[in-house]
Amino acid sequence: MNYLDSLGDGWTIYLWLVAGGLIILAAIYGMRWASRNEQFNEDIKYLVFSESDKDKMTTSEYAKSRQVLAEQMADHERMKKQAEERHRAA
Q: Give the residue extent of every domain in the chain.
A: 11-40, 42-90
Phi, psi of 87 (to 5 degrees): -65, -40
SS3 50: coil
More confident residue, 87 or 90: 87
Q: What is the CB-side half-sphere exposure of residue 29 using CA atoms within 13 A?
A: 6
Q: pLDDT: is 24 or 1 the higher one?
A: 24
pLDDT at 22: 98
pLDDT at 18: 97
The stretches of 7-58 forming alpha helices (DSSP H) are 12-36
What Cα–Cα distance (Å) separates residue 44 from each residue in 10, 19, 47, 67, 70? 48, 34, 6, 11, 12
Whole-angstrom CA distances from 30 to 22, 23, 33, 35, 89 are: 12, 10, 5, 9, 27
> What's this model's pTM, rounded to 2 decimal places?
0.56
